[in-house]
Structure 1
């Protein structure tokens, strides 16, 4: 029995929870898949699956063995890739994730430049405002805003973002400029329900203000549009209004009362064994994000 091949078959059955689907996926006969798993069980001396007419589930021993198999198979694939040169030259498809607006505004231009620099590469982006499991969703690189939990991934800090209060010059001319957080109660507020579900806005030194937004929108883009039009004030992450700040369409107020900024990190799970495509993109992204004055 080819143990490496048997481990590959077992891992695929575990992922697909089906002997028949595994057989089709690996272009094998169903009996061949069954024999390979049975031989592996005989070799190990433990049942790896509980099989019924409707389902295939791993046993406790199978679950432990599956984790070891994935690690061993990944090490083998890494060794083969290194020998074949893919760790020297970017190849294949790169998957990148970031929050929706940050990804569109700041990460996508880096991705397109990366593809121009390495024309044989492909890229897949997942710009979405929800936590993404990097390993389970097959992501190579993530750009994350906020303080990180200990994940064991490689993390490179590339900038910071601030929570800011902003409005248009025309609004301030008509309604005045708030000088303390308490003054917000005297102003029209547009709030994004997607980013600020709580009516409590927090500031430095644990100051808190309960706001009563007259306008609530489900996207940050909408409240920014309202603020640019001179309707009222809103609170967003400062990178989201970068173009409007540069154009003079919005101004930040109460900056002396802001909470400490949140860090921006680039994450990837491979560490020092990362393939060339990951290393090249991380280097390019880190350089561009660190040079962006709106993120520092």
Structure 2
């Protein structure tokens, strides 16, 4: 028999004045109620109740214990109610991380709209292109882009985006338009440091799957930095449309090797556990998924 249940039964006996009434309140038998109190007395090594055929009275130890017992049970009840409120209604601080460029370009308005809809949630946002340890950093959630996240974490796919290889008209005028994937080896290819494929640019199309080892004069840990270099005519970049799509539509960048697919990137919400998922995490994930579904231009 666990002590907490025994405490609840003892408090109910005192509150109702009898084992029978306490048993009815707790939906257990009178014999079981008596066993719980006897267990508690044995555990404490003292008698809590004086039992006669006509009534029950508290001993001195029982009176002292009941006062503390009632307070403990009230504190537990309050804590449980608070936990339920946090589960049912978004509340508290949501600590999350996401890539810098994606966060600034696309998640800023979404986060703002979420906070307006759920004013009891505060957001603590870490913008970082480097993958951080959610548990070690005490984070509730990450928005990650790329391959499926590592095992041990729960991942929900929010959206996907196509990758494009592109460069500025100025650069292509000087160096020519690559006609095949192999031609990329002769171009100045600007590198994103955290790319999962490293210096290998992979694509599929005519002739099957192609992997080209590329090199260039710039490597950076932020996609916007190499995008700006590409806009300046420095070289070619391989980036998702959420970063370069507007530039391609406006003619500031030109997609090359369009007949080849450079693949897709998954956009994921990642969190440590599916069990007892808090309302703030659950509602934020659903809110972002709905918002990103409207990004048809990707």
TM-score by length of 1: 0.63
Match of 1:274 in 2: 277
Separation of aligned partners in 2, 1:99 and 1:153? 18
Q: CA deviation at 1:265?
A: 1.5
Which residue number in structure 1 is paired with residue 118 of structure 2? 118
Counterpart contact for 2:166–2:256, Cα < 8 Å: yes
**Which of 233, 240, 244 is matched with 1:241 structurally?**
244
Q: CA RMSD in A?
A: 3.3
- 3-state DSSP class of the match of 2:159? strand
Structure 1 residue 134: Cα displacement: 1.9
Q: Give the match for residue 147 of structure 1.
A: 147
* Deviation (angstroms), 1:167: 0.9
Q: Structure 2: which 5+ runs fail to align?
A: 5-75
Higher mean displacement: 184-193 or 284-293: 184-193
Instruction: Tell me the residue number matched to 2:190.
Output: 190
Q: Which has the larger radius of gyration?
A: 2
After the TM superposition, which residues 11-50 of structure 1 pair with which residues of structure 2 at under 5 Å, given as runs?
none
| Structure 1: 4+ residue segments shifted above 6 A | none
Specify whether residues 210 and 154 from structure 1 end up closer, same or farther in structure 2 by C-alpha distance, changes over 3 A only.
closer
Unaligned regions of 5+ residues in structure 1, if any?
5-75
Tell whether 2:266 aligns with 1:263. Answer: yes
| In 2: Cα distance, 1:125 partner to 1:141 partner | 10
Q: Does the 8 A contact of 2:92 with 2:122 survive in 1? A: yes
Give the deviation of 1:152 after TM superposition.
5.2
Give how far 1:268 is off.
2.6
State the alpha-carbon separation in 1 of the partners of residues 246 and 149 from structure 2.
31
Using the alignment, how far apart are the partners of 2:150 and 2:238 within structure 1?
29
User: Corresponding residue for 2:86?
Assistant: 86
Give the corresponding residue for 2:290. Answer: 287
Deviations 1:154-174 (A, max 9, x none): 432122234321112343345
Size of the aligned set, in residue pairs, is 224
Deviation at 1:279, TM superposition (A): 1.9
- Tell me the alpha carbon deviations over residues 246-276 of structure 1, each in whole angstroms, 9 at most, x when there is no partner: 4331122213323431322112334263222
Compare 183-192 and 274-283 and name the one that shifted more.
183-192
